[in-house]
Structure 1
Amino acid sequence: MEWIVLAAALVLFYLLKMRGAKGVSNITAAELENRLNDRNAFFLDVRTNGEFKGRHIRGFKNIPLGSDFSKLPHDKEIIVICQSGMRSQTACKQLKKLGYANVTNVRGGMNSWRG
């Protein structure tokens, strides 16, 4: 019986962790491809410098997760990517807490990028 409660708690924790932050939009990598020339967006890659140097999308600025995001433009949509979508989701939550109104996460991150 205890293992059922533990398993249920783990599933609930995982589902809550995967749930998007309130007020954060999500787009796919395919949708991102259509947005790359959007001058009203700031493109943020929150992976490590090494990951970014290895492979990145032109137009994205590399500011690793854990950095100070408070200097990003407030008048643009912030589109955030990482390797899988987990760190970018965390960064989106941080941006919302800092008062950024228009924040978008790229679901699947670089793992889903084919461009």
Structure 2
Amino acid sequence: MFSLFQKIPTISTQELAEKLPDNIELIDVRTPQEYRSGHIAKAKNVPLNKIGGYTAKADQVYVICQSGMRSKQAAKVLSKKGYNVVNVRGGMNLWTGKTVGGK
């Protein structure tokens, strides 16, 4: 049964760092400006306001934003579309790994 209070699984930025070598789908739902200021190399920018039209290429999708709030909203939208979504707790605020700037 579908629940409004569906629990979206979360992982820490540390756990995400360990998964990056695998072929994972990582979506950064921050604004294009925030994304350009520094993002995880593997992350694809899909701003939160466009997430409803996003089609993931994998069953498992990891979602990140600045603090974890927008990614949680995005995760709910993607989850309703049938994807297995994992929210990255704390977002880029807690990310200590390498980032790249630009597109």
TM-score by length of 2: 0.83
Q: Match of 2:76?
A: 93
CA distance in 2, matches of 1:70, 1:57: 19
The CA RMSD measured in Å over matched residues stands at: 1.3
Structure (1 or 2) with the larger CA radius of gyration? 1
* Residue of 73, 85, 90 corresponding to 1:108: 90
Q: Give the superposition deviation at 1:70.
A: 3.8
Give 1:76's aligned amino acid. Answer: D
| Runs of 4+ off more than 6 Å | none
| Residues 75-90 of structure 1: pairs in structure 2 closer than 5 A | 75-90=58-73
Partner secondary structure for residue 103 of structure 1: strand
Report sequence identity in percent: 46
Gaps of 5+ in 1: 1-20
Q: Which has the higher helix share?
A: 1
TM-score by length of 1: 0.75
